[in-house]
Structure 1
Amino acid sequence: MAEVSAEARIEAPAGKVWACLTDFPSYGEWNATHTSFPSGGPESLETGATFTENMKLMGFPAEVLWTVEELETDRALAIRGKGPMGVTVATRYSLAADGDATTVRIDGEFTGAAVSLMAGKLKDSATAALTESLRKLAGLVA
């Protein structure tokens, strides 16, 4: 298993950050691993909703079938997906209001036999992607 996380303080209220975070048509503007939604984002954002995302990590393209596991408007979004080679991916976005700003944390987890072969490189690449994603998200909402 490989676990990664990144956190940033974004100078915008949680509602504004949440709106950008859950605006799937603009996902590619801030999410560093996202390449496309072949069928669009989830039709409605609710627990149990599914959607497919094409992404790229460590230079490798992957298609992930995501399921929304947790949803708390303006506070948390957790998704878990099945990727290629039996890899399971989990991502959790947490938002905490901090005055007129918001602390945003992204936690990710990769599990599966293929992960153990490249866990170190995967952690480095995924952490860099999360950090870049938060930087871009801050730029969009600030």
Structure 2
Amino acid sequence: MAEVSAQSRIEAPAAKVWSQLTDWDAYGEWSMTHTGFPKGGPQTLEVGTTFEENMKMMGFPAEVTWTVEELEAERVLAIRGKGPMGVIVGTRYTLLPDGGATTVRIDGEFTGAAVSLMAGKLKDSATAALNESLRKLAGLLA
């Protein structure tokens, strides 16, 4: 298993951050791992919703089928997906309002036999991608 996380304070209210975070048409403008939604992103956002995403991790393309596991508008979006080689990916976005700003935390988890072979490189690559994603997200909201 490989676990990663990144956190950043963004100078925008939680409602504005949430709106940008769940704007599927603009998702690729800040998410460093996202390369496309083959079917246009989730049509609805509720627990149990499934959607497909094309991603790039460690320079390699990956197709992930996600399921929304937890959802609390303007607070939490947790998704779990199945990727190539039996890898299971979990991503959790947590928003913590702080006056006119919001602390955004992204936690990621990778499990599966293939992960143990590349856990160190995966952690480094995913952590860098999360930090850059948060930087870009903050830039869009500035």
Gaps of 5+ in 1: none
Q: Does 1:41 align with 2:41?
A: yes
Q: Write the letter of the residue equivalent to 1:78.
A: A
| TM value normalised by structure 2 | 0.99
1:40-73 alpha-carbon deviations (Å, 9 max, x no partner): 1111011000000000010000000000000000
Q: Show the counterpart of 1:58.
A: 58
Q: Write the letter of the residue equivalent to 2:67.
A: T
Secondary structure of residue in 1 paired with 2:102: strand
How big is the alpha-carbon RMSD for the aligned residues of Structure 1 and Structure 2?
0.3
1:88-118 alpha-carbon deviations (Å, 9 max, x no partner): 0000000000111000000000000000000
Q: Show the counterpart of 1:104.
A: 104
1:114-129 correspondence to structure 2 within 5 Å: 114-129=114-129
Q: Show the counterpart of 2:135.
A: 135
1:65-76 correspondence to structure 2 within 5 Å: 65-76=65-76
Secondary structure of residue in 1 paired with 2:103: strand
Q: Write the letter of the residue equivalent to 1:16.
A: K
Secondary structure of residue in 1 paired with 2:122: helix
Q: Hey, what's the Cα distance between the residues in 2 that align with 1:37 and 1:97?
A: 29
Q: Which 4+ runs in 1 deviate beyond 2 A?
A: none
Give the fraction of aligned pairs with identical amino acids, expressed as a percent.
79
